[in-house]
Structure 1
Amino acid sequence: MRQRVRKLIGTVLMLVLVVVWAVSAMALAQGRVTDLPWAWQTVCYVLLGIAWVLPAMVLIRWMERPDRKV
Structure 2
Amino acid sequence: MPIRLKKLIGTVLLIVLVITYAVVATIVAVAQLAESGPLAHFLFFLLSGLLWILPAMGIIKWLILERKPTKP
Q: TM-score range by the shorter chain?
A: 0.7 to 0.9
Amino acid at match of 1:7: K
Question: Hey, what does 1:36 align to over in structure 2?
Answer: 36
CA root-mean-square deviation: 1.5
Alignment TM-score, normalising by the size of structure 1:
0.84
Structure 1 CA distance for aligned equivalents of residues 39 and 58 of structure 2: 30
Amino acid at match of 2:39: A
Amino acid at match of 1:36: S
Question: Hey, what does 2:55 align to over in structure 1?
Answer: 55
Higher relative contact order (CA 8 A, sep 6+): 1
Query: How many equivalent residue pairs?
Result: 70
Alignment TM-score, normalising by the size of structure 2:
0.82
The unaligned stretches of length 5 or more in structure 1 are none
Which deviations, in whole Å up to 9, do the C-alpha atoms of 1:39-62 show, x marking residues without a partner?
Answer: 332211101111110000000000
1:6, distance to aligned residue in structure 2 (A)? 1.4
The unaligned stretches of length 5 or more in structure 2 are none
